[in-house]
Amino acid sequence: MDELINKLIRKYKTNNPFELAKCLKINVMFHDLGDNTRGFYTKKLRRRYIVIHNQLDENWQRFVCAHELAHDRLHPGISRFWIDESSFFVAGKFERQANRFAIRLLTAGDSPQQGESLQSFFNRHNLPESMEAFY
């Protein structure tokens, strides 16, 4: 996973998930997805889409974009909708991987400084504190 992230950053010279999505020709859209969905990734007719809930704050939108970008890079051809309806896979594994990818992408090249708490590290990188368990 780290090698993939490093290749993306080296090739496109950014760890901004919105810029990476643009470089990878993934359409990012914002819509009202209701109270229980922050975002999703889908592929239709060879076009790839990341849809992000438009009511999220900027930090959450950035994290969700990175998370959904992980699904494009790590789980090609697998949709959450397909997992839920047509397979016996546990979606949790893919979601945990996508969360770890997002954190590593958004903190690329950095780690907590000596004596710095994980909470401070996440705050410094504008990451949701609820994602600390995936670091």
Q: CA 69, CA 72: separation in Å to the nearest integer?
A: 5
Q: Which residues pair with residue 39 across a beta bridge?
A: 52
CA Rg, the chain, in Å?
Answer: 15
Phi, psi angle pair for 41, to nearest 5°: -115, 140
**pTM for the whole thing?**
0.87
Specify the CATH number for 2-134; select among 1.10.10.2910, 3.90.1150.10, 1.10.10.10, 3.40.1190.20. Answer: 1.10.10.2910
> What strand order describes the sheet that includes 39-44?
26-31, 47-53, 39-44
Q: CA 39, CA 64: separation in Å to the nearest integer?
A: 6
pLDDT by residue (tens digit) across 39-62?
Answer: 999 988 989 999 999 999 999 999
pLDDT by residue (tens digit) across 97-122?
Answer: 999 999 999 999 898 999 999 999 99
- Strands 47-53 and 39-44, bridge-based pairing: antiparallel
Question: In the chain, what is the straight-line distance between the N-terminal and C-terminal CA atoms, in Å?
Answer: 13
